[in-house]
Amino acid sequence: MKLRLFSALLLAGLLTAAAAFARQPVDELYDKAEYRIAMRDSVKLYTAVYTPKTDAKAPILIFRTPYGCAPYGPGEFPRGFGSGYMRSYIDRGYIVVMQDVRGRFMSEGEFVHVRPAGYGETDETTDSYDTVEWLVKHVPHNNGRVGFAGSSYPGFYAMMGGLCTHPAVKAVSPQAPVTDWFMGDDVRHNGVLMLTDSYRFLSGMNTPPGHTPTEKMPPMSKRTRPDEWTFFREHATLAELTELQRPNPFWEELAEHSSYDAWWQARDLRRACYNVQPAVLVVGGTFDAEDCFGAWNLYRAMVRQSPATPCHLVVGPWAHGAWRNGSGKLGAFDFGREAAWEYYMEHFELPFFDHYLKGEGAADPLPAAAVFSSGDNRWHAFDRWTPREARKLTFYLSDGGRLETRRPTAKSSASAYTSDPADPVPYIESFGERRPKEYM
């Protein structure tokens, strides 16, 4: 009885200590240092390094981003370090690194969208390598193990970190990664220009020539006034939208390359996933309107091109990025506690990085694939994706607009519909300047 009581008191004490640690302000737990790390071509990249106020050995987790590392300045910590997704890593004592990619915000150089591997003497893999090399040599108390993580566009940069070949990089997590802007992510779907995504996003990500390091990029995002429905009907041609975008070199190049040519193929992340050395955790959402394509197809490329690499896939009932901040709800639908970001972190991302970067946890931390079914609202684990027991089902359009699984027996038939680009079919109930996530 005394032993049980002692164990209970000890557990309660540990839980209380952990809770107290979690409530401490981050500036009492961490130090911040800012560096301009020189790449191999002497271009300097702004890098913020957050280190625990302890002498314990810790892994380095890098977040490379085109969206800025604010707040800048000594002693200034991101608001997200206080709670939520990033706080999970603070509470675990990780060394957290945030870096402005080349040509964005406080970093020098030229910004190039989805800069292909092999683009000149430097690209995102060489910048990743040079960053890791500097960090492991100069950041005190690191354990020599490095990871990359990022969601959406930063998911592309996370995978580039995984391709950099530095031996210290042990694990990477590209989440909703920009993978192929022609075939399915953000900009085009099978070549069709996705107006609501591409027009506003690429105008806001238009870095002017002659970039000088700055804490705030000039506001350039184009507005779709009075609403998207009206705007895109009144500006109906690609040539007109291109004129509205000028000067925007990437948009102008995009407009010139209307087929899946070498320019687009070089920007397909899937073509570079051979002999990947670190473990990979690919994350995506079935209700992601922006980068749903990237998660499924990057994983498919990984397992084909690097079959020996530990590669895991996690896909939940999430809108874009909701695995980092979502409650498990989307619009009128509640998928339950297991769809919330806390459950995702506890069962997937943290075990992944803890295992590969800290040597903690189970020998096999995750299944090959974990996919949430929104029919029964629970997770299903598989030893591969697509599962062996899956079967392909083909639907046929039959008379009266019906879908059937039986192959039609009629020798000839026809179905017709009217398409009027000047009067497109609405896909949401009400229109504004932005598309609501829950339309998915």
pLDDT at 20: 53
Report the alpha-carbon distance of residue 311 to residue 232 in Å, rounded: 41
Cα–Cα distance for residue pair 317/437, rounded to 1 Å: 12
| Residue scoring higher pLDDT (14 or 81) | 81
- Give the up-direction half-sphere exposure of residue 245: CA atoms within 13 A in the CB hemisphere: 26
What pLDDT does 210 receive?
87
SS3 266: coil
Tell me what pLDDT residue 21 has. Answer: 55
Task: Report the alpha-carbon distance of residue 158 to residue 314 in Å, rounded.
Answer: 16
For the record, the structure tokens of 174 come out as 């590209």
Provide the percentage of residues in the chain whose pLDDT is more than 70: 95
Structure tokens at 367: 């299944």
Q: Which residues pair with 372 in a beta bridge?
A: 379
Place of tokens 């096999």: 364
User: By three-state DSSP, how is residue 287 classified?
Assistant: coil
pLDDT value of residue 17: 47
Burial 22-57 (b: 16+ CB within 10 A, else e): eeeebeebbebeebebebeeebbbbbbbbbbeeeee
For the stretch 28-52, pLDDT in tens is: 999 999 999 999 999 999 999 999 9
pLDDT, tens only, 157-167: 999 999 999 99
List all residues 6 or more positions away from 173 whose beta carbon is below 8 Å from its beta carbon.
147, 148, 149, 150, 158, 280, 281, 282, 283, 349, 352, 353
As a whole number, the mean pLDDT across the chain is 92
Find the mean pLDDT for residues 251-277.
Answer: 95
Give the pLDDT confidence score for residue 258 in this predicted structure. 92
Count, in order, helices (H) and strands (E) of the chain: 14, 16
Q: Strands across the sheet with 369-373, in order?
A: 30-38, 44-52, 95-100, 58-65, 142-151, 169-175, 279-285, 311-316, 369-373, 378-382
> Which pLDDT value is given to residue 150?
98
The Cα–Cα gap between 128 and 120 comes to: 15
Residue pair 221/196 in contact (Cβ under 8 Å)? The answer is: no
Token output for 381: 């684990």
Q: What is the dihedral sign for C-alpha 191, 196, 197, 198?
A: positive
The token duo for 303 is 């397992």
pLDDT in tens, 184-225: 999 999 999 998 889 989 999 988 788 999 999 988 888 888
**What is the percent of the chain where pLDDT is above 90?**
77
Amino acid in position 20: A
Pairing outcome for strands 58-65 and 142-151: parallel
**What phi and psi, each to the nearest 5 degrees, are found at residue 44?**
-105, 130
Residue 100 DSSP SS3: strand
Structure tokens given for 337? 């506690």
Radius of gyration of the chain (CA): 24
The answer for residues whose C-beta is within 8 angstroms of residue 375's C-beta and 6 or more apart is: none
CA distance 53 to 51: 7
Tell me the average pLDDT across 316-341: 96
Q: Which of 66, 101, 61, 100 is nearest to 81 (CA)?
A: 61
* pLDDT tops 60 at residue 287: yes
Across 408-433, b (16+ Cβ under 10 Å) vs e yields eeeeeeeeeeeeeeeeeeeeeeebee
DSSP designation for 139: S
pTM of the complete model:
0.92
| Angle formed at CA 20 by CA 16 and CA 25, multiple of 5 degrees | 170
Higher pLDDT, 439 or 335: 335
What is the average per-residue pLDDT within 124-153? 98
Candidate from 99-113, 216-230, 323-337, 424-438 with smallest mean pLDDT: 424-438
- Quick one: pLDDT at residue 3? 45
- The number of beta carbons lying within 10 Å of the beta carbon of residue 87 is 15
pLDDT, tens digit, 9 for 90 and up, residues 381-399: 999 999 999 999 999 988 8
Q: Return the closest-CA partner of residue 152 out of 181, 124, 128, 132.
A: 181
Answer yes or no: are the C-beta atoms of 98 and 92 closer than 8 Å.
no
Is pLDDT at 135 greater than 90 in this prediction?
yes
The pLDDT-based confidence of 19 (bands split at 50, 70, 90) is low
Beta strands (DSSP E) in 176-278 are 188-189, 192-193
CA distance 235 to 330: 32
Whole-number pLDDT of residue 10: 44
What is the rounded CA–CA span in Å between residue 171 and residue 277?
9
